[in-house]
A and B are shown apart, each in its own frame.
Chain A
Amino acid sequence: MDLNDTPEQAAYRETVRGWLEQHKAQAPEARSTRAGAEDAGYLAARRAWQGKLAEGGLAGVTWPHEFGGQGLGPIEQVIVNQELGRAGVPGILDVIGLGMLGPCLIAHGTDEQKGRYLGPMLHGDEVWCQMFSEPAAGSDLAAVQTRARAEDDGSFVLNGQKVWTTNAQFASFGLLLARTNPDVPKHKGMTMFIVPMDAPGITVRGLRQISGEAEFNEVFFDDVRVGPEMVVGGVDNGWGTALTVLMYERLTIGLGSEGMGYNPYRFARALSGDAAAVKDKAVRKAIGEIGTDLLALRFASYRTLSALSQGQIPGPESGLAKVTTVNAAIAAGDLIADVLGPDALGEDSEWSYMISFLPGLKSAGGTEQILRNTIGERVLGLPPEPRLDKGVPFSELAKLSRPGGSTSSGAIEKEEAAA
């Protein structure tokens, strides 16, 4: 068991640290919330900084050389993340683009697409957004309804709505999952598109959350036309393309979890100023349990890194770390607000922001229930729940979503009633 860098990794860390020492004066400040997204000057500075990082080889660390990357592994990406944190400077602005969408284009895009889009993405000249989730397609992503209708000239006309779209308000392009063929089962009739966010017919609207801030967007498509050259990975092959993005999403979350600020020492410090709380047995039990969970996560991430360094890709079990993170942080927010009283809910309180943010985070990247289903099936090998949508053409699924609307579920209800 060795937590230290290999000599090669140590040398790489030195290089990265040296570059940051030289250039960090040019970096914008690191902001802890995403409120910076509404500040155009700050955004411009973050884009420029991403460009600098790309020039220095600190962006696109895992991208192949031919697309401007460094051709290195996930461990080197983690070293860069750690050194950015140590230097106290922000990292790249377009985490979604570089971490998830770019790798998808590299895997499935045409040569023209790679040549046109990857460079400006890497340097922050064009920011990207991911348009997958919809009001009726979240954990069940293959239920997307946004329609892409093929025209005689080979182009497609998009109609529908996406939601939870981070960075859409300033993105140049989006990667969109839409339905091209509703007459086949739902996983088979989808296609992935590149969509210019300034195309006529697109409306982006901020989506305010519990805290009052708009960290996400809704995106509406009203007869938006895109050419056939915008298809990524083949028509009706969108699910396979989407799975690539989701695999990189897990990797990005798995490598970035330490950066969320849910740190046991930070939570304990919020309590340690209150002499009565420090002696209170209920408080001690709660912070002891929260701290234990969060300390476990640190070593869980080392286990993930260790597996990565041996060429393994993180599987669905990393979802358990997300469940632990969110629930421990929720418990910490409750505990701290119990001790500090209503002041913890004040508008300027960091705890108020955290308390407001966490209920939504619980569903981000798949709800806790869906994560537990996936882990139960893929990791423990438990049998899946019987599904009513399997093999059914998408166009007929609407009937299933009405209460009592399907013959098969009706039959099950009758059977149970008889038993």
Chain B
Amino acid sequence: MDLSLTDEQEFLREAARGTLSRFKVVEAAREALDDGLEQLPDLWPAAREAGWAGLLISDEHGGAGLGVFDAMLVAEETGRVLAPVPFIGLLPATAILDAAGYDGLEAIAAGEVRPVWIPTRPPGDLEPNWTVDGPGAARPDAPAIEGDGDTVRVTGRASFVPDAPGADLLVVVGVDGTVAVVEAGAEGVTVEQVVRYDVTRALAHVTLDGAPGTRLDVSPDAAADAATSALGARGSMAAVAADAATSALGARGSMAAVAADAWYVAQALIAAEAVGTVQTTLEMSVQYAKERFTFGRAIGSYQAVKHELTEVLRRLENARSLLFYAGWARDSAPAEFPLAASAARSAAGSALDFGTRSNINVHGGIGATWEHDAPLYFRRAQLTRRLVGGHGDATDRVAERLLAA
């Protein structure tokens, strides 16, 4: 039993913290709210230099060949400072492309070409057409991928796609569970940047109107690896029988399974980012609770304040424990990864909601002013709660897995 980080993981985390400390994102975010997105620093060159584009791409394709847990360590650091590094769009896309042995992986690993994953609910899901974020019952279907052979036409619309602005390649999961790559500049593709509440998250509505693309399939190597890891994992969980998507997922041996896995990779990354953000807000609140005096003593000595802050800590630590579960399951028990990643997102979401609000409460009125940093973390929480399925969807997936077990 050893959950401590390896030296390499410690180094990865420290290096990420060092890289991000060169930017003043929070201050820039406040300016960007007033004066436009160009106030935000461009972190992509630093991210490329740090090798983050290739975190999940295998060695032989020029990547770092690291695991999702390693990527989550970096995501926690970006979450701490609200850094606009395009992980949520990028990393699930690279996981898919790597499994497919995509031709252009070297350039992607080097950060010269940036792909983005179009969030699509896992193939074989309960409500297969309820696939992307949007307004209520009007949620559009996942895109249709039509045509035989490698060359296909992709049609559909996806709202609030994280990290789509400026991406070079769109990795699209179709309503039928197949996957295609479409160049962002291709005919029939519209990427319309939108800003919603949290300027540190780049978002776009993506429309595909018969856009030409290439169909992806699982490379033989990836299929063999997946089969091995599925064998290792067998028996580690009460099998969710008769759920074809799940058993396929356990293996990541088919494109539909790889596409489903990408959904949960995104959930795990969002959870890790949120844990970083809550860590920061808790540090801010605790610091202020020690310094601010009322009725002759520090407000942190009052039980009402102290208990609220321990509640933030409780939710934070629960979420952090589930990051370990998600990271471990992805590598060692893939059949449990959907449950683990959904639980991590749910717990981290609850910590993020509570922690960012509590940070404002503890600061009192000043915490709700424009000049203060607390509202920027609150904005992050408000938008995150509603992206890529939202926290509520993650909680429902935990329920689904438990009730079906």
Interface residues in chain A, defined as those with a beta carbon under 8 Å from any beta carbon in chain B: 1-5, 9, 75, 264-265, 267-269, 271-272, 278, 283-285, 287-289, 291-293, 295-300, 302-303, 305-306, 309-310, 317, 320, 323-324, 369, 372-373, 375-377, 379-386, 416, 419
Contact = CB atoms under 8 A, between A and B. Distances in A.
Contacts of A369: 303, 307
Given A324-B318, A369-B303, A386-B301, A278 B346 contact: no
Nearest to A274: B403
Interface string B315-340: 00111011011011000100000011
Contact of B314 (A288, A299, A323, A381): A323
Main SS class of interface, B: helix
Main SS class of interface, A: helix
Contacts of A385: 301-303
B160 to A, nearest CB: 23
Q: State the 4 A-B residue pairs at the shortest beta-carbon distance, nearest first.
A: A288-B399, A376-B306, A268-B402, A296-B318
A383 B301 contact: yes
Contact of A288 (B2, B318, B396): B396
Contacts of B2: 1-2, 306, 309
B212 to A, nearest CB: 41
Of residues B282, B298, B346, B398, which shows the largest number of chain A Cβ atoms within 10 Å of its Cβ?
B398
Interface of B: 1-5, 69, 238, 282, 286, 289-290, 295, 297-298, 300-303, 305-307, 309-311, 313-314, 317-319, 321-322, 324-325, 327-328, 332, 339-340, 343, 346-347, 350, 392, 395-400, 402-405
Contacts of B322: 292, 295-296, 299
B3 A1 contact: yes
A20 B340 CA distance: 33
A159 to B, nearest CB: 35
B237 to A, nearest CB: 10
A288 B395 contact: yes
A291 B5 CA distance: 26
Contacts of A295: 322, 325, 339-340, 343, 398
Contacts of A302: 1, 3, 321, 324
A375 to B, nearest CB: 5
Contact of A3 (B1, B303, B306, B313): B1
Given A1-B2, A265-B405, A268-B405, 14 more contacts: A1-B328, A284-B400, A287-B402, A288-B399, A296-B325, A296-B343, A296-B347, A302-B324, A303-B3, A306-B1, A324-B314, A373-B303, A376-B306, A376-B310
A373 B301 CA distance: 9
A419 B309 CA distance: 27
Nearest to A376: B306
